[in-house]
Amino acid sequence: MPRDHFSQGGIMETDEWCGDIGAAQLDPNLPTPLYHQIYLLLRERIRAGRLEAGSMLPGEQELAKLFNVSRITVKRSLNELASDGLVSRHRGRGTIIATGRAVPVVRGSFTTLMQSLRVMGLETEVEVIDVADIEADQTVLQHLRLAPGAVVQRAVRRRKIEGEPFSYLISFVPSDIAARYSVTELAGTSLLTLLERAGAAAHSAEQWITAVEAEPQIAAALGVAPSSALLRIERIMRAAKGRPVQLIYAYYRPDRFQYHLKTQRHRTPDGEGWQEEH
């Protein structure tokens, strides 16, 4: 999607950017108030650089018409942006996009997956949202190769970097392994390390990566607008003898997380091909 055409110090006409933002992106049925939905939409555009520093947002009246809300609702959204330092508000001049600091980005790699996961565990903070022992459903049973009726630990966590959320994690671990570490440890130690201490060190991984829309609960946890694009990684970790020891569904903010893959062309008996560089 092209960058919005702001000129330094200029005001963008509302109809120049109403094609992909506006009332259609608000959902009054969500628990998130409309003013906060507008705040999230504008914040994402500012952080992505699509609303350029030094430029001015359309006026409150124009924005109210665009989002089909009251001027008071828009004003509250803009005040939140100002509180976050993303805009500055000036009586008689309007709302100006501030020069923001670079958003921290966590980078992972297919070729150094284990190392990247360990680095994330050391350089980011984790918040445990929920932990419970549950009876595994058919999908979890299949991925973890468990018998019907098996119990697993389901943990929901949120990772932050510099105080800002970047991932929402839902993990499943067989109960006999999860019983070897505490919930407190789950909050302060990477799960890979806990698996090692539990005698179930991960030696291999298989994963699938897709793009999904953020469900309301996950969107709220990650501080993005509902239906925003997220990177979803489904990963199965296996021990040395092949036993699955963890299934995880990880949802990442694309502005905070990148996966890096480097390949090199090479010759094979069947011709030329490509392989990952190690």
What are the chain's domains? 14-97 (1.10.10.10), 106-263 (3.40.1410.10)
Residue pair 85/78 in contact by the 8 Å Cβ criterion: no
More reliable by pLDDT, 12 or 165: 165
C-alpha 182: how far from chain center: 26
pLDDT at 3: 37
Give me the mean pLDDT over the 221-240 stretch.
Answer: 91
More reliable by pLDDT, 225 or 74: 74
Residue 164: pLDDT band with limits 50, 70, 90? confident
pTM for the predicted model, two decimal places: 0.64
Residue pair 95/56 in contact by the 8 Å Cβ criterion: yes
Give me the mean pLDDT over the 79-108 stretch.
Answer: 76
Residue 14: pLDDT band with limits 50, 70, 90? very low
Question: Highest mean pLDDT range out of 89-93, 124-128, 191-195, 270-274?
Answer: 191-195
pLDDT at 147: 97
DSSP calls for the chain: -PPP---TT-B--GGGSTTSSSGGG--TTSSS-HHHHHHHHHHHHHHTTSS-TT-BPPPHHHHHHHHTS-HHHHHHHHHHHHHTTSEEEETTTEEEE--PPPPP-EEEESTTHHHHHHHHHHHSEEEEEEEEEEE--HHHHHHHT--TT-EEEEEEEEEEETTEEEEEEEEEEEHHHHTTS-HHHHHHS-HHHHHHHTT----EEEEEEEEEEPPHHHHHHHT--TT-EEEEEEEEEE-TTS-EEEEEEEEE-TTTEEEE--EEEEEETTEEEEEE--
pLDDT at 23: 60
Residue pair 261/249 in contact by the 8 Å Cβ criterion: no
93 φ/ψ angles, rounded to the nearest 5 degrees = -115, -35
Query: In which residue are the tokens 């109809």 written?
Result: 15
Residue pair 205/244 in contact by the 8 Å Cβ criterion: no
pLDDT at 18: 47
Q: Does the pLDDT at position 274 exceed 50?
A: yes
The mean of the pLDDT values for the chain is: 81
Q: Are strands 164-174 and 106-109 parallel, antiparallel or unpaired?
A: unpaired
Residue 37: pLDDT band with limits 50, 70, 90? confident
Q: What would the two tokens of residue 36 be?
A: 């906060």
pLDDT at 98: 83
Q: Does the pLDDT at position 158 exceed 80?
A: yes
- Show the CA angle centred on residue 43, arms to residues 40 and 48, nearest 5°: 125
pLDDT at 32: 76
Residue 103: pLDDT band with limits 50, 70, 90? low
Give me the mean pLDDT over the 126-132 stretch.
Answer: 93
Residue 262: pLDDT band with limits 50, 70, 90? low
Rounded to whole angstroms, how far apart are CA atoms 84 and 229?
22
Residue pair 273/266 in contact by the 8 Å Cβ criterion: yes
